[in-house]
Every structure is written in structure tokens, then in C-alpha cells.
Amino acid sequence: MRAIWIIAKKEYQLAMRSISTYIVLTLFLVVSGLFFSNIIFKVGLAEMRSLFEIMHVVFVFYIPAITMGSIARERQSGTLELLSTLPIKLSSIIWGKVLSCLMQLKTLVAFTLVFLGIIAIFGEGIDYGAVVCGYLGLILAGTAYISIGVFASSLPSNQILAFVLALLISAFFYVLKFLIVLIPMNLMQPLMYLSFDNHLASFLKGVVDTRDILFFLAVTAVFALLAEFNLQSRNMMQER
Amino acid sequence: MIRIQNLSRNFGNLKAVDNISFDIKDTEILGFLGPNGAGKTTTLRMLVGYLQPSGGSIELDGKSIFADPLAASSQIGYLPEQNPLYDDMSVSEALAYFGALRSMSKAVFKARKEFVVANCGLAEVLNQRIGTLSKGYRQRVGLAQAILHDPRILILDEPTSGLDPNQIMEIRDLIRTLGKEKMLILSSHIMQEVQALCDRVVIINKGKIIVDDQKENLGNYLENSEVLHLEVEGEGIEFGAFAEQYAGLELQSEAVDERHCILKLKQPKGMDLRQDVSRYINEKGWLILEMRVEKQSLEQIFHRLTGEDNSVHFTAPQTDENIEEQQ
């Protein structure tokens, strides 16, 4: 546990020192700000739900960008060898990376509280319960995406490839809801169950269902385990 | 002590390490020599538990290091070959990071940090970003990281590569000091380094051990002849008649131009031809520009045993000889 925290803290500190973090942060705020102002001024709704849906889309691109380097960069520079020979478990490395990305994601999400502040001041009849649930859902979905990204990053030693892989896997879970017409009936139920949007939808409505929480946690755990397994087998089979 | 038995490691069809066995005693400095691609790094990676062997065992004090990898790795300090470091961190931060991951207490860390900073000469770069450091300083940071937790076993993969002669001297002194109380395994393809530092030498080639002996005994592996180098100036230089007088003498000559000739006389060991040669040249009225007997070193043993391969990269011999002279 201690090692996880040490790794996460170091990764987070380094990320917060890098200029690219701030560029991505600014981009995210500009994009979501545009959508937010659209909702406020054109539609005239004082709500966060549409914004959360936009944020979910942005996550599919943003999260692979923060996770792509997590393990691929360490492998590329060789520091993974150093880290693997320290008296810490491989799982600590993986969870440390996941945690640091989660901290970055929370930093990003924290900035959207500005939007909430605006509608809290100028809007009326805001469902704060739904807003809190929405944030909870987004963080949970984000954690699952991060785990996917860290797993993707453990596969190649090339960061760009890691990004593309993470994007593909994340996009699969995201676009499932749009594929509804293409899916055969008997496959519909299980595939729809995997759709992140389905599980997030109830959070956005203000309903916290334990099954949805468990779903996101399970996806997180599965991909983190896969990443750990992958690192382990790399050490067994590693080519020169 | 570490006992390695029948250790093998395959990469696909390539046998990188092929059934090697040797022991390493406590407080022994073991030189692990071999040309590039001989399997040195693969062996060391297995020793630190980074790579799983395809066969065989590595035992530390009678227990396999893979049985409890965390306990084993806390006793080992490792400097990998490429010396990977976190370029975005400052030296001080990196040391703190490794200290924390090795679960060192604050007081212990403070004392050890002082020790490594003083001994690796890091005081003036402590707050500099590692990415901006010179190769020599990077190497020292790598070494500092390896000895930070005062490990019982120190495994250094080519620790002096990329350092200038003065830095090599300093690092060697440090290694020698550390070797007094630690088990130290030093991989290198620089012969002089091993000659200067190690008690015992293991030479590995194509995954197999070809020599495992105390440094003093390596003389036994020497070729049974010496080479006398000559550079002569004069008219009509001809050594054929001279060479015929001695049994077992081989002559190689190469004319540089009309008046210059470079000769190599391969003489059986124990035969000293210098006086005869200079008398002969005197008689003919030529001039000796250079005459020296090539000393046989570990380098030649290495060359002879690892044979034809040209993948061996030697550091400039002059530099290393200078270092030896300074010592």
C-alpha cells in the first residue's frame, strides 16, 4: 500500500510539472466550456447532465492521453527494470500508476466545479443530488477507463501505440450504445451490459445502483490484473 | 553466498545463457567478463530477479531468490547496463523516491543519503534535473541509487562506461572500498578494470563459462609466446637470415616505405632476443626506432579465449594504462 502511494505521488507531481498536462487541461476546459455555454445560453437549461455526457466523450480521448506513458515510458527508458528489481510488488506499480492518473483526472474534474458554481448562482431548481451522483459516476467510469489505459500502456513500449490501443478499447465500451441496431438480438443483452453509457446513465439521473458501482470497479480490477499479468509474463518471456 | 546452478535462459531458439554454474562468496569481488552479447546482462538480470531463468536455480544463502523475491531484492543493489533514470526528477528527488520505495526510515535515509552524496560526488548536482546531467554524473547517480540502502550484494553492469579517466579512478576506488564488506559482481568488457578490481574472474562467451578462476591464476591461460615489436630504419632491411638462427621464432615484417620496416618477432616464452636483435641491427648499420616486448594481459587471454569475434569493444588502451600507472 505504501509503495502504491509513493509511486502515485511521484507520478502526479511529475505530471503537474509538465507543460503538456496544462495544455490538455486548457483544451478540456475550452471544449467543455463551449458546450456548457451552449446549454446555458441557447437551450436555457441550468443543469449539469448534458455537460457530464460531453465529459464522458472527452474522457474517451483524454484518459488514454494521460495513461499512455504510464508504463510504456518506463519500459522505453528502462526504468521499469529498475522498478521491477526494487522490493515492491508488480501490482503496486500498476495500482500506483492507476492512482496517479485518477488524481490527475480528479484535478481536471475539479475545474468543472466552476460551471456548477455558475449555475448555482444564476440557475434555479438545481438537483444537487443528481449532480453529486453524476460526479461519482464520472469518476467511477473514469477509473475504469484509466485501468484500460494502463493495461494498454503495458502492452507496447511505444507511447503512441499505447494511446491508440487505449482509445480503441475505451471506444469499444463507449460506442456500444450506438451499435444497438447492428447487434443480433441474442447478443444484445450481454453487450448492452458492457456499455459504459448504460451504467453511467442511472448515475446521471441521480440514481446510485450498487450494480453499476460494482460494474465499474470490476472493469477496473480486471484490466489492472491483466496489466499485472502482462508485466509478469514479459519478465518471463522478454526478448532482448 | 550465492550459488548458481545449471542456469539457462533461452530467447526463442537463441541460448543466451547456457547451463552455467558458479558460486559467489561474501565479500568477494567477482569480475564477470565477456564480449557484447555473451550473456552477461541476461545472467545479471536473472540474478536480480528481473528475468526468469528457463532452467537451473539461483540460491541466496540456500534459498531460491524466486521463492521470496521481495526479501531477496531488498538485499541487492543493482546498477543496470543502460543506467536508466528518471530524467524529469532532480537527483535529490530520485534518491528520496528510491529511499521511500525501499521503505527506509527518515533517519536512516538521511545518513545514507549523506554517505552516497559524499562518496559518489553528487553534492553540486543535488538539485539538478537528472536529464540535464552529463553521462559521468548520471552514472554516479545510478551507483548512488544502487548503494543507497547499503545492500549486502551489489551487482553492477558496466559501472564505469562513459566516464572520463579521473571519474573512472574515483568510481573504482569507491568500488574497491565497497568490495571490502560486500559481495560485489561487476560485469565489464574492459579487461583492465577487472584486472584492477576483482579477486576472481568469470569469463563467459556465447552463454557458456570458459574461465572461472582467481585473478592470480589467469597467467596459466596465457599463450606460450611473446611478441617483440620492432621498428627499424635503414637500407635493405632483411631479417630472414636472423630469424633462421632461432628455433621456434616466427617473423612477420611489413615495409612502411623504402627505409622503414615494422617487424613482429613471435618468440617462445622465456626467450629474450632484445640484445641479439640490437647487436644484429648495429652490425648492419640500421637504426632502431622502436623496440618493445608486448606484455600479455588479461585482454589477450580474453581475446584468445573468446576467439574470432570482432564484436568486442575495447576502451582506448592508453587511457586505461595511464590509469594503472597513476595507481
ipTM: 0.88
On the question of pLDDT at A26 being above 80, the answer is yes
Q: Could you tell me the pLDDT band of residue B321, with boundaries at 50, 70 and 90?
A: very low
Residues of chain B with Cβ-Cβ distance to A86 below 8 Å are 73, 98, 101-102
On the question of pLDDT at A112 being above 80, the answer is yes
What is residue B315's DSSP assignment?
A: P
More confident residue, B212 or B255: B212
Cα dist from A65 to A55, A101, B300, whole Å:
15, 10, 53
Burial of B99 (0-12, 13-18, 19+ CB in 10 A): buried
Beta strands in B238-280 (DSSP E): 250-257, 260-268
On the question of pLDDT at B327 being above 60, the answer is no
pTM: 0.82
**pLDDT (tens digit per residue) in B25-38:** 888 899 988 888 88
On the question of pLDDT at B71 being above 90, the answer is no
**pLDDT (tens digit per residue) in B117-169:** 998 889 999 999 999 998 888 888 999 999 999 999 999 988 887 778 888 88
| Interchain proximity A238–B51, CB inside 8 Å | yes
DSSP state string for chain A: -HHHHHHHHHHHHHHHHSHHHHHHHHHHHHHHHHHHHIIIIII----SHHHHHHHHHHHHHHHHHHHTHHHHHHHHHTHHHHHHTSSS-HHHHHHHHHHHHHHHHHHHHHHTHHHHHHHHHH-SS--HHHHHHHHHHHHHHHHHHHHHHHHHHHS-S-HHHHHHHHHHHHHHHHHGGGGTTTS-HHHHHHHHHH-HHHHHHHHHHT---HHHHHHHHHHHHHHHHHHHHHHHHHHHH---
Helix (H, G, I), strand (E, B) or coil at B310: coil
Asked if the C-beta of A84 comes within 8 angstroms of chain B's C-beta atoms, the answer is: yes
On the question of pLDDT at A96 being above 80, the answer is yes
| Interchain proximity B50–A2, CB inside 8 Å | no
**pLDDT (tens digit per residue) in B52-68:** 888 899 998 888 888 88
Q: Could you tell me the pLDDT band of residue B223, with boundaries at 50, 70 and 90?
A: low
Which cell is A55 given? 465529459
Which cell is B274 given? 632484445
On the question of pLDDT at B101 being above 90, the answer is yes
Q: Could you tell me the pLDDT band of residue B82, with boundaries at 50, 70 and 90?
A: confident
Q: Give the separation between CA A100 and CA A11, rounded to whole angstroms.
A: 6
Q: Rounded mean pLDDT of A77-85?
A: 88
Q: Give the separation between CA A238 and CA A232, rounded to whole angstroms.
A: 10
| pLDDT number for residue B85 | 93
For testing the chain B interface, which of A18, A20, A84, A85 should be mutated: the one with the most B CBs within 10 Å?
Answer: A85
- Put simply, the chain B residues between 4 and 63 with a CB less than 8 A from any chain A CB are 11-12, 16, 42, 45, 48-52
Asked if the C-beta of B82 comes within 8 angstroms of chain A's C-beta atoms, the answer is: yes
Q: Could you tell me the pLDDT band of residue B234, with boundaries at 50, 70 and 90?
A: confident
On the question of pLDDT at A224 being above 50, the answer is yes
| pLDDT number for residue B313 | 38
| pLDDT number for residue B314 | 36
More confident residue, B303 or B9: B9
On the question of pLDDT at B310 being above 70, the answer is no
> A144 CA to chain B: closest CA distance, Å?
26
With both helix axes pointing from N to C terminus, report the angle between A19-37 and A49-67 in degrees, rounded to the nearest 10: 160
Q: Which of B37-51, B116-130, B250-264 has the lowest mean pLDDT?
A: B250-264
Q: Could you tell me the pLDDT band of residue A239, with boundaries at 50, 70 and 90?
A: very low
Share of chain A above pLDDT 70, in %: 98
R_g of chain A, CA atoms, integer Å? 19
